[in-house]
Amino acid sequence: METKTDLRSLTIEEIKNEISAMGEKPFRAKQIFDWLHIAQVSDTAEMTNIPKTLREELDRRYRISDIKIAERYVSEKDNTIKYLFELENNIIIESVLMRYSYGNAVCISSQAGCRMGCKFCASTVDGLERNLTAGEMALQIYKIQRDIGERISNVVIMGSGEPLDNYDNLLRFLKIIGDGIGIGQRHITVSTCGLVDKMKELAKSELQITLAVSLHAPNDEIRKKTMPIANRYGIDELISAAREYANKTKRRVTFEYALIKGVNDSRKNAEELAKRLKGGLFHVNLIPVNDVKENNFLRSDEQTIKDFAAVLSARGINTTVRRRLGSDINAACGQLRKRYKDNLPLISAENEPTEE
């Protein structure tokens, strides 16, 4: 087990404190930080403007995290690229590059695995392996940016893991990519299954990131069937925390709602949802669920999805239906990592494109 602190997971201020304690000049902190996050080197030997004695001292005290691309799949439909990254100790995580008219967005993982237990989600099946460090979160962006040779403008933390369950590293990561590659908070979305206490903390932290909340149900009864977190926090307290976040930050909160046939997709469900969300600075993103055969969760019919959206829109709730990018490459929700770990074929016939 590696015990040294990861130099790549420290903010400039933290590096400054560390090296000041070593008797070094504070300006070295920015130099070291730039090597790690702009030049993105993984070896102190490459830090050519840092004196050799300091480099040797850094080597003695710290390690520098790195990750490497294990697999890479390009969607033939829409140029989405799915990456499997290998971390130390053969841990596998996944990230996705999505191309939009406004620029390149990456969806990154915040944990290897997850302990939230949502019944429709492949990332949680084997539980939590470990939290990712801030450096490992940032490295997913760096490696993808290098791989495609283009800038990444937006980041969504919606890969495997529950970001608010890895809160301190998340905040450190946000600071690091702001200072390093200049991705500002307004270009970052954090998606949570609804850890209400942390959402409140985030609202107080004066950050300008967009919050997305995985709601997936119009009431507690249905939510408890698919999301164990619903036993800890009731839907009203969750929506009220989202309201608080929107009011405080003046940023629209997105509710994600995966439509599952016969579970949460009726007209009555849509009406109840509309009533609960009324009057908030909210947006509902309807997602045709990716089928989970083990649980008999199937995607709602196209017409049902349209009807559900229409009920919300008619009641003044801002609603969109998510495009399914990369559906031919298992791009969604922990599916690819799970198949890789289970030694299953990574692209299977059952995932052939079925629409668009």
Catalogue the active-site residues: 94, 333
Query: Site size for ligand SAH, by CB under 6 A?
Result: 18
Window of 29-37, 57-65, 71-79, 112-120 that interacts with ligand SAH by CB under 6 A: 112-120
Structure token digits, residue 183: 């991705």
Residue 10 or residue 121: which is nearer to ligand SAH going by CB? 121
Rounded least distance, CB 50 to ligand SAH, Å:
37
The phi and psi torsions of 220 (rounded to 5 degrees) equal -65, -40
Find the binder of ligand SAH among 67, 84, 158, 274 (CB under 6 A): 158
Window of 70-78, 188-196, 239-247, 264-272 that interacts with ligand SAH by CB under 6 A: 188-196
Q: Of the candidates 223, 240, 245, 243, which has an alpha carbon nearest to the alpha carbon of residue 232?
A: 223
Residue 55 or residue 341: which is nearer to ligand SAH going by CB? 341
Check binding of 256 to ligand SAH (CB under 6 A): yes
Window of 35-43, 167-175, 178-186, 190-198 that interacts with ligand SAH by CB under 6 A: 190-198
CA 202 to chain centre: 16
Residue 180 or residue 194: which is nearer to ligand SAH going by CB? 194
Check binding of 287 to ligand SAH (CB under 6 A): yes
Window of 31-39, 61-69, 186-194, 263-271 that interacts with ligand SAH by CB under 6 A: 186-194
Find the binder of ligand SAH among 44, 210, 249, 290 (CB under 6 A): 290
CB 259 within 8 A of CB 222: no
Structure token digits, residue 179: 């200072």
Residue 31 or residue 285: which is nearer to ligand SAH going by CB? 285
d(CA 323, CA 225): 26
Residue 121 or residue 253: which is nearer to ligand SAH going by CB? 121
Structure token digits, residue 289: 């669920």
CB 75 within 8 A of CB 83: no
**What is the number of residues in the chain?**
356
Window of 46-54, 116-124, 267-275, 340-348 that interacts with ligand SAH by CB under 6 A: 116-124
Find the binder of ligand SAH among 40, 140, 189, 214 (CB under 6 A): 214
Structure token digits, residue 170: 């998340």
Find the binder of ligand SAH among 29, 121, 134, 177 (CB under 6 A): 121
Check binding of 254 to ligand SAH (CB under 6 A): no
Check binding of 105 to ligand SAH (CB under 6 A): no
What value, to the nearest 5°, has the Cα angle with vertex 110 and ends 190 and 37?
95
Residue 54 or residue 195: which is nearer to ligand SAH going by CB? 195
Residue 29 or residue 177: which is nearer to ligand SAH going by CB? 177
Q: Considering only the C-alpha atoms of the chain, give the largest distance between any 2 of them, rounded to a whole number of Å.
A: 69
In DSSP terms, which residues pair with 5 in a beta bridge?
62
d(CA 325, CA 106): 12
Find the binder of ligand SAH among 11, 65, 95, 192 (CB under 6 A): 192
Check binding of 292 to ligand SAH (CB under 6 A): yes
d(CA 307, CA 151): 38
Structure token digits, residue 84: 């499997």
The phi and psi torsions of 93 (rounded to 5 degrees) equal -130, 170
Taking phi over 0 as left and psi of -120 to 50 as alpha, with beta for the rest, 16 belongs to alpha
Instruction: Decide the pairing of beta strands 319-321 and 282-288.
Output: parallel
The Cβ of residue 48 has, within 10 Å, a number of other Cβ atoms equal to 9
The phi and psi torsions of 238 (rounded to 5 degrees) equal -65, -50
Residues that bind ligand SAH (CB under 6 A): 116, 118, 120-121, 158, 162, 191-193, 214, 256, 258, 287, 289-290, 292, 332-333
